[in-house]
Amino acid sequence: MSVITYGEAIRQAYREEMLRDKNVCLMGEDVGRWGSLYRSSKGLLEEFGPEQVKDTPISEAAIAGCAVGCAALGMRPIAEIMYIDFITIAMDVMVNHAAKWPQLSNGKLKLPIVFKTQGGAGRRNSSQHSQSLENWFVNVPGLIVVMPATPYDVKGLLKSAIRDDNPVVFIEHKALYFEKGEVPDEEYLIPLGKAEVKRAGTDVTIIATSWMVLFALKAAAQLQQEGISCEVVDPRTLWPLDKQTLVQSVKKTGLCLVVTEAPEEGGWSGEASSVIHEHCFSTLKKPVKRHCSIRTGIPYGPVLERQIVPGDESIMKAVRELVKGV
């Protein structure tokens, strides 16, 4: 095992897959000479050349459209959208073309595309560079939606996404790029659609996504000192959803808190809550509780930003309310 950053784990996944398959290519704004926004593709242009690493114009629609064309012709493109906030410009290509063509061709046309982007708050990038828009893509048939929380997960899931024959929306978090964790030195893959229990517990299940996983783990460690045992489950893939792992955990604990950075209104947190209620109704001690960001634009100031987004302290408060009713 090596201890590396989340960003370095991404770079390793790129490099290993490009070495394995010359049809794997990375395209996006500043991914070549600049090495991407967080240097996760640093040095790849020099190693693989412009055939596999290509800087693009500032046009998310063009990036996504080029990726669809490349995939249709047999390549495996990784289309990097610098901020998820800008993915709105690529939505027509992603939703009306990439997600639909395999079905419209009766499975004859495969589109192995990774639409890779990053979202979320935490770095004071204000309202147009800090959104959590993953809920939109969970609603689109034909798209796989992945949100890794650790260096180990981001590498294994990215390699699997690149090898998958379907369009994958791969959403990283800007606050995670410099987080460190253990990553195997040998090659490994993590299957898409498989959740993981990050911490075992007996009193309450916390289902958390992306950056919120780290806060949930921190909260669980502190709550343990108060005598509350929390099980933390990371779905890793929002769709397809590993319902079995979530349900097994909640049947064991009898209580469930769903934590997401995206607002709860019309979102994935409601889907997770519904799954738990449908499959665990007879064993639930109380209704599922959701703890999500406030439905508003993300402020620039750090104090206000922290008030909008869940953190370890607010998660602890939500768990206490659920377990003790206080």
224 with 256, same domain: the answer is: yes
Q: How many Cβ atoms from other residues are within 10 Å of residue 151's Cβ? A: 25
168 with 259, same domain: the answer is: no
Give the closest residue to 113 by CA, choosing from 74, 71, 60, 81.
71
- Cβ neighbors of 125 (< 8 A, separation 6 or more) are 83, 174, 298, 300
Give the closest residue to 134 by CA, choosing from 243, 232, 209.
209
Q: Distance from CA of residue 240 to its chain's centroid? A: 13
Mean of pLDDT values over 6-19:
98
200 with 177, same domain: the answer is: no
Tell me the average pLDDT of the chain.
96
What is the residue whose two structure tokens read 């047999």?
A: 74
Note whether 260 and 206 are within 8 A (CB).
no
Total domain count, the chain: 2
Kindly tell me the sign of the dihedral angle through the C-alpha atoms of 60, 66, 70, 72: positive
Buried-exposed string 25-36: b where 16+ CB fall within 10 A, e elsewhere: bbbbbebbeebb
CATH number at residue 17: 3.40.50.970
Give the closest residue to 298 by CA, choosing from 265, 268, 262.
262
Distance CA 144, CA 195 (A): 14
Indicate whether 294 belongs to any domain.
Answer: yes
Note whether 207 and 272 are within 8 A (CB).
yes
Among candidate residues 154, 183, 212, the one where a domain is terminated: 183
DSSP sequence for 228-293: --EEEEE-SEEES--HHHHHHHHHHHS-EEEEEEEESTTSHHHHHHHHHHHHHTTT-SS--EEEEE
Distance CA 326, CA 321 (A): 5
Among candidate residues 127, 159, 183, the one where a domain is terminated: 183
Note whether 269 and 292 are within 8 A (CB).
yes
pLDDT above 90 (res 325): no
CA gyration radius for the chain?
A: 20
Mean of pLDDT values over 178-194:
97
236 with 316, same domain: the answer is: yes
CATH number at residue 200: 3.40.50.920
18 with 161, same domain: the answer is: yes
> Mind listing the pLDDT tens digit for each residue in 244-258?
999 999 999 999 999
Distance CA 319, CA 172 (A): 26
pLDDT for residue 326: 57
Domain assignment of residue 268, given as a range: 196-324
240 with 150, same domain: the answer is: no
Length of the chain, in residues? 326
Mean of pLDDT values over 286-292:
97
Distance CA 149, CA 172 (A): 8
Mean of pLDDT values over 123-133:
86
162 with 133, same domain: the answer is: yes
Note whether 174 and 119 are within 8 A (CB).
yes
Active site residues: 129
**pTM listed for this prediction:** 0.96
Mean of pLDDT values over 226-247:
98
Indicate whether 229 belongs to any domain.
Answer: yes
Indicate whether 37 belongs to any domain.
Answer: yes
Q: Distance from CA of residue 183 to its chain's centroid? A: 18
Among candidate residues 129, 154, 183, the one where a domain is terminated: 183
Mean of pLDDT values over 18-43:
95
> Mind listing the pLDDT tens digit for each residue in 60-109?
999 999 999 999 999 999 999 999 999 999 999 999 999 999 999 999 99
**Model confidence at 53, in pLDDT bands (50, 70, 90)?**
very high
Strand-pairing partners, residue 196, are 234
